Chain A
Amino acid sequence: GAGVSQSPRYKVAKRGQDVALRCDPISGHVSLFWYQQALGQGPEFLTYFQNEAQLDKSGLPSDRFFAERPEGSVSTLKIQRTQQEDSAVYLCASTPGGQGVWGQFFGPGTRLTVL
């Protein structure tokens, strides 16, 4: 595709519900990143994939957060038993990967509101 897409753009969940957020990176991009952005803050790293391998998940806030990229393209971030503190914008980014240093291409984000 022309850019990184994310769906849904907005998600409202009741506390305790599970949610799944989808990211479609730029076609052919090897590296995929998830970030969490609270209001008025910069994005915070959650996890990183190189193809289907999750190489770093050190930023995931708790074991309620789970991310996958089974075929090395589309990725899903799942949050189980959502809490109010999970309310934030979840951003996905991708880069071509491999050798070299890249600027990251971000999607528009999914705004999650937990009531």
Chain B
Amino acid sequence: SQKIEQNSEALNIQEGKTATLTCNYTNYSPAYLQWYRQDPGRGPVFLLLIRENEKEKRKERLKVTFDTTLKQSLFHITASQPADSATYLCALDMSNTGFQKLVFGTGTRLLVSP
């Protein structure tokens, strides 16, 4: 069965540094991968989507890479700020029927200290 792994331990970094979060998956070749941010007591918020034929995608301070050979995506936040503290979820589209059927990882909690 499909397995998506994200670091279960919280990632603690200092303000201004680059945070790098990892998403590894097995047994599937998704057409695309998404990253979401989730704050306590709230629903996930969509951040970025990267397709299988894209190596890298950027949006402001965010950068996502997608290596289909390694079956891995890396999510970077540059010049991190305390406001970036949240749980970050990666999600793969498991559907082959034309609609999205997302499978989420367990998420990695990021803590940015001043």
The contact size tier of chain B is 20 to 34
CB pair A41–B99 under 8 Å, yes or no, is: no
> What does the 1/0 interface line of B31-53 toward A look like (CB < 8 Å)?
11010100001111111010100
Minimum distance in angstroms from A40 CB to a CB of chain B: 7
B77-108 vs A, CB cutoff 8 Å, 1 = contact: the mask equals: 00000000000010101010101111111110
Compute how far the CA of A22 lies from the CA of B34 in the bound complex, rounded to whole angstroms.
Answer: 26
Is A4's CB under 8 angstroms from B43's CB? yes
B100 engages A104 (CB within 8 Å): yes
Are the CB atoms of B99 and A55 closer together than 8 Å?
Answer: yes
B91: A residues at CB distance < 8 A: 42
Kindly state the separation between the CA atoms of A4 and B79 in the bound complex, as whole angstroms. 31
Given contacts A42-B107, A101-B49, A103-B34, contact A108 B42 (CB under 8 A): yes
A66 cross-chain contacts in B, Cβ below 8 A:
none
The one of A4, A48, A93, A105 in contact with B99, judged by C-beta atoms closer than 8 angstroms, is A48
Inter-chain CA distance A4–B46, complex, in Å, is 13
6 A-B pairs (CB sep. < 8 Å): A4-B43, A42-B105, A43-B104, A45-B102, A45-B103, A101-B51
